Each structure stands twice: as structure tokens, then as C-alpha cells.
Structure 1
Amino acid sequence: MAAAISVLLPKSTTLIDLLKQPTSNFLSGCPLQTFSLNFKPPSSTCKSPSLVVSASSAGKTSTTTSAGGSTLYFNFTGFPFPLGPFLNRPTIRTEAVKDCIWLFEQEQALGFSSVSTNIRMTVIKLKSGGLWVHAPIAPTKECIQLVKELGAPVEYIVLPTFAYEHKIFVGPFSRKFPQAQIYVAPRQWSWPLNLPLEFFGIFRAKTLEHEDLSTPWAAEIEQKVLSSPEVGIGPYVEVAFYHKRSKTLLVTDAVIFVPNQPPECISNESLLASAKNGLAVKILSKGKEVPQEPVVDNKINRQKGWERMVLQILFLGPSNLLEPKASFSQMSQKLIVSPIVKTLVFSKVPEKVRDWIDSIARDWRFTRIIPAHFAAPVNANRSDFIAAFAFLDDLLGERYVTRPSLQLLFTSIMGKAASYFPPDDMKTLSSLDQFLVSVGAVKKTVSGRKQP
């Protein structure tokens, strides 16, 4: 799911997906035969980039699915909602920058609901000829085959966040490439039990540090860490990366770009299930009569299913699922911060977030952004990135303005319209936020500014 949900409701640390063949490694994701727990640690040139994205959305130079590779992966984890699909995860590979950056996408569903989105792994080819893997996805046979088809060894595996939906796949993915070094975002935590990384099958991991020049990829990929104070039951941590030669910014959940059309990896079955007028639609129909006719498999219904998915992911309880098009049009085709992340996290630590995004915009001259969900790559620059965070200006006012340039300041002012969310759709999320603050589950505001 869009990791905003895992910020509020971190996934359980119960590894029910430890299901594998008797001779396979821990968390292998192989065909289901028996249970086994094995906590034994594993044994011990990028061409000039070309702009491949359109003016407003993700661009693709090629898309590949692997013939004959199994898409089976048993996964039944996550608290309080398990993460689907539970058995079948097809992988779509896209070449984002020729011979340099590839995107691997799978569907990810919220438990037994009809709400799905895509989850993305990004692979960069380093000058050494090896591969740098960002936010691994489920290592199905198909997925691993698509990685191996790149014809280069996996040298580094990076977990850029604390979020369970990304953490759960690092262990099993690393088992497929035992020679790779693993790096993880700092301050890892889990809930309801705060367990060590080894419990997730992640061994001998090194910690990603802010602006660390000692990493083996530092000459090609730079990094900046957002490590907030605890805003609830744990801190929000995300590491942004900048691939210098391709001028690409990689984030996990900081910003998103909702495409008009559903990602290719989301199945028609999921889209049509979302298009059905179920209980959620009845509750959020504003008292209108909800028809109960069968859902026919056609473009209109698949599109309706996608629009409903997006609004539920962004707002939890949007104002009107019966007729989602108007709200969807306000949230799609632009770079934004997810309403959930904005409300429950970033608005709690505005100074800390401002430090982070200003540092990114000041130091990195990116022309594309690759998030871990929704569309990618997104044709966006520093001004677009700053504009997505225009809501911070209202929270910080004049007391904390450190713009890198007048141009970015103007863009931020203009970006307030882009960060506008429909008030009716925000009601449920705002009420939830107020409730969580009232019971002490989420803090109202947390100072995150560094003292001079």
C-alpha cells in the first residue's frame, strides 16, 4: 500500500510468510510445501542518460515481463491488515534510463479489501558494472529472472525506510543474492513488538547515514536522511538518494504522482472488485441511491475501480466513492505529498521536513523523480519538489524561511494551489488525526528544528 498507511498503522512483525520448500533458504518465497524457520545468516557502467519521460507523467522506454517465470509468492503478513496479493505477484520491468535505471513493479493490496496500488523497486547500474537495488520487492522467480536478465551482479541492496511494506522483502530478496551488501535506513522499528532486523531475515546490515561520503557508491549516488522525532508510536525515517549522472531523485513515500490510468501491474480483477458498489461505496455515497447491477469488464469500470482505489489510499474515507471522478481529477497528474503522510507525519514535524527538502533542492539538480508508489519516473525538478511541500509555509510562517533561490520561493507560493486537497475528502482524515492526538497516539506538533 501507499506507505502513508504504514506510517499510521505499522505492519505486524509476525512472519507468517515463512513458508518454503524444505531445501530452500529462509523467506525464499518458493512454492508452498512446508514450514521452516532458519535464522542462519547468508554466506558471505552507466551510459549518458537521456530524458525518457513525458511532460507530466511517467515515461517508458521498454516494458518487459519474463516468460515462464513463476509469480507465486506466499505472503500473509501485516498488522492490523495483511499485505496482499497473498499468492500471485506478477512483476513488470521498465527501463527508465537506457542501460542505466530499471523499475520493477508489483501489485500490493491492503489485506482483504479491494484497494491496491503498485510497489516499486529501482535498480541502478553502477560504473563498476554492478547493480544497486533500492527498496526490494517480493523475490518471485519471475522477478529474480528479470533482475538476472540485466546481466550484472547485485552488489548493494538498500532499504530506504522503516516501513514494513518495504522491509518485509529485504530479507528474502537478499537470500537470492548472498554476495550483496545490505544497507538500511537508521532507527528501524516495528510494532506491536520492536524486534531486531534479524527477525525479518536481514543480517549484517549497515546503517545509512546522512550525507555519508564513505559509502561505496558515494561518487555516483548521494543520500540525505530524514529522521524525525517520534510523531506517534515511532519516528518517521526516509532516505532520499540522488543519482548524479542521470539527475534522478529517488524517494520512498515523500512525494507521489498519481497517474490517470492504473499501473500495468494492477490486475483487472482488482480494478473490477473496486468498481463494485460494496459497503464502502454505500457509506460514502452522500445518501444517494447505490445501484447493485453486475460490474462488466470494460474500460469504464476498470477506470472507476482505479479512481476509487486512489481516493481510499489517499484519504482513507473520501467524501464520495459512488462518483469518484471529480475528486480523483484534483489529485492526479501532479506531484503531491500524500494527504495521509502530510496530515499524520509531515505536519507534525514541519521544521525537520523543511530542513530535509530544502537541502535536497539546494544540493541536487534533478530532472526526474522516482517514488516507490504510483507513477515513475516523474518529469519534475527542484521547483516542482518544493511546490509539493508548500503546505509547510502555512505551518512555519515567516519564522523559518530558508529558500535556496527566489525562483523556488515563487514556485512554492504558486504551489499552494497544487497542494490543495478537497475539504470534503479531508474530513475523515482530519477527524482521525484529531482523535489520535486526543488519545495520545499521535502528537499534535513535534519540534524538529536543529538548534544553532
Structure 2
Amino acid sequence: MLRPLAEALYVQEVPFRIGGMELGGRMTVIRLPEGGLWIHSPVRMDAETRAAVEALGPVRYLVAPNLEHHLNLPAWAAAFPEARVVALPGLRKKQPNLRIDVELGAAPEAGYAEVIAQQHLRGMPRMEEFVFLHRPSRTLLVTDVAFHIRHSPSWLTRTYLKLSGTYGKLAPTMLLKSLVKDRQALRTSLEAVWSWDFERVVVCHGEVLESGGKAALRSGFAWL
């Protein structure tokens, strides 16, 4: 269930398989200064998950960080109608029945801007990912722009990640690289991320990297 990483920062890991590959999934929950919860990339909801989240505080924000991590949002939005659903504008086309209250943009919502910064990683129109910085814990949250799978029992997963040059590293996969259509736009976006103060990197797929996160991620994007 929910596992604390730092003060006001929690994660929940779940199994996740796609295309025959075992990638794992992760939801991140941040408790805001006023006590409400900001939830990044919600995982499938069940009774235990809902109870664990509600025990931490009232849900204030449900965040879809890119155009792919949204399948579980409708259930969460229905379960927590008072929460504000935060997503990219392009998600309205993919999820026309999803209630979207806030469109991600250059500036974070006032309700979480005190502790969370956000940056649009441009140049990948089919992905349109936002990354987030939890300032108090110096933690960067990434979704699909980089994996950190150091071990896998799946031969297919290991093979794909080794071919990508990603196995055992914090780095983008072959698929992510193929989605980059404007390298300069992505480089410019990442320059803003490199200016942030972070040590830990929480990925949606793979292991949390507790230290050296900025250097590892910069190395992962050296190809750019």
C-alpha cells in the first residue's frame, strides 16, 4: 500500500504489464501544507487503496501528467467529486467523458504552487509530458519520459530495455526517443528542469532513485 518516502511524500507500487512487458506502475501522493492531497498518476482504485488515501487526508487534486496516464482517472474523479482534475488540454479529445477542471500550463495551480513546481517537456506532441518538483523533499516526479528498471524477471522487458540502452539506468526508452519531434524544444524544456534543486527521482516505471537523481537524468538525456 502507500509507502512513505519523505515527510508528506508517499508512493504506491502496483503491477503493470503492457505489450508482454512487465513494467510496474507507481502513484505518488503529496500532502499539501493545508492537509489536502495531490495525487500524481492514480493507479487502479480498490477498497484498500481508497481507504489508505483517505486516511492521509482529503483529496484535492488528481493529476494526469501526460497523454497516456489517464485510464484510472475517471474512477478517482467519480469517487472524489470535490477534487480538481488536472490534465493536459489534449486529454479532452482522448477522454471526452473525463471531467477536467484545470488544464496544465506554465504556472502551477495556486493551491499547490507553494510546494510543487511543474515543467512542460515540449517537443513530444504525442506524449506531452509534464514533470513536477516537490520542493520540500527535493523530489522530481517523472512519468514515461524516463524509466529506472534495474532488475526484471521478464526476458522481454530486459531485452527491450537493453536494446534501448536503458536497463539499469534512469533514462528514456527507444519508444520515448522515437516520439521526440523537436529536439531543441525538449532541450530547452530540460534546461528549466536542470535548474531545479532535486536529489530523488520518482518514476512511474521502475525503482525510485533516492540520490544523485539530477546527474543520472542528465546522463540519460546526453543523447539529446
Asked if these proteins are the same fold (TM beyond 0.5), I'd say yes
**1:381 aligned residue:** 213
Q: Deviations over 1:33-59 (max 9, x none)?
A: xxxxxxxxxxxxxxxxxxxxxxxxxxx
**2:61 aligned residue:** 156
2:100 and 2:176 mapped to 1: Cα distance? Answer: 30
1:355 and 1:128 mapped to 2: Cα distance? Answer: 34
Q: Deviations over 1:15-73 (max 9, x none)?
A: xxxxxxxxxxxxxxxxxxxxxxxxxxxxxxxxxxxxxxxxxxxxxxxxxxxxxxxxxxx
State the structure with more CA Rg. 1
CA contact (8 A) 2:2 2:11 kept: yes
**1:237 aligned residue:** 128
Q: Deviations over 1:408-434 (max 9, x none)?
A: xxxxxxxxxxxxxxxxxxxxxxxxxxx
- Matched to 1:160, the amino acid is P
CA contact (8 A) 1:257 1:378 kept: no
Distance change (3 Å), C-alpha of 1:229 and 1:375: closer
Aligned with residue 311 of structure 1, among 120, 136, 159 = 159
Q: CA deviation at 1:148?
A: 2.1
Q: Deviations over 1:78-104 (max 9, x none)?
A: xxxxxxxxxxxxxx432111x411111
Unaligned runs of at least 5 residues, structure 2: none
Aligned with residue 223 of structure 2, among 391, 401, 421 = 391
Distance change (3 Å), C-alpha of 1:214 and 1:104: closer
**2:45 aligned residue:** 139
**1:357 aligned residue:** 190
Q: Is residue 2:131 matched to residue 1:215? A: no
**1:427 aligned residue:** none
**1:408 aligned residue:** none
1:390 and 1:167 mapped to 2: Cα distance? Answer: 29
Aligned counterparts, 1:307-346, within 5 A: 307-312=155-160, 314=161, 331-342=166-177, 344-346=178-180
2:99 and 2:169 mapped to 1: Cα distance? Answer: 39
1:226 and 1:334 mapped to 2: Cα distance? Answer: 20
1:208 and 1:108 mapped to 2: Cα distance? Answer: 26
Aligned counterparts, 1:155-234, within 5 A: 155-163=60-68, 166-188=69-91, 194-195=93-94, 197-199=95-97, 202-210=98-106, 212-228=107-123, 230=125
**1:274 aligned residue:** none
- Matched to 2:30, the amino acid is I
Q: Is residue 2:12 matched to residue 1:109? A: no
1:334 and 1:155 mapped to 2: Cα distance? Answer: 33
2:41 and 2:9 mapped to 1: Cα distance? Answer: 14
Q: CA deviation at 1:376?
A: 1.4
Aligned with residue 138 of structure 2, among 247, 265, 270 = 247
CA contact (8 A) 1:137 1:173 kept: no
What TM-score, normalized to structure 2? 0.90
Partner-residue secondary structure (3-state), 1:236: coil
Q: CA deviation at 1:337?
A: 1.4
Distance change (3 Å), C-alpha of 1:204 and 1:383: closer
Partner-residue secondary structure (3-state), 1:257: coil
Distance change (3 Å), C-alpha of 1:340 and 1:204: closer
Partner-residue secondary structure (3-state), 1:372: coil
1:214 and 1:221 mapped to 2: Cα distance? Answer: 9
Q: Is residue 2:26 matched to residue 1:93? A: no
Percent identity between matched residues is: 25
Aligned residues: 224
- Matched to 2:117, the amino acid is E
What TM-score, normalized to structure 1? 0.46
**Higher fraction of strand:** 2
CA-atom RMSD in angstroms: 2.2
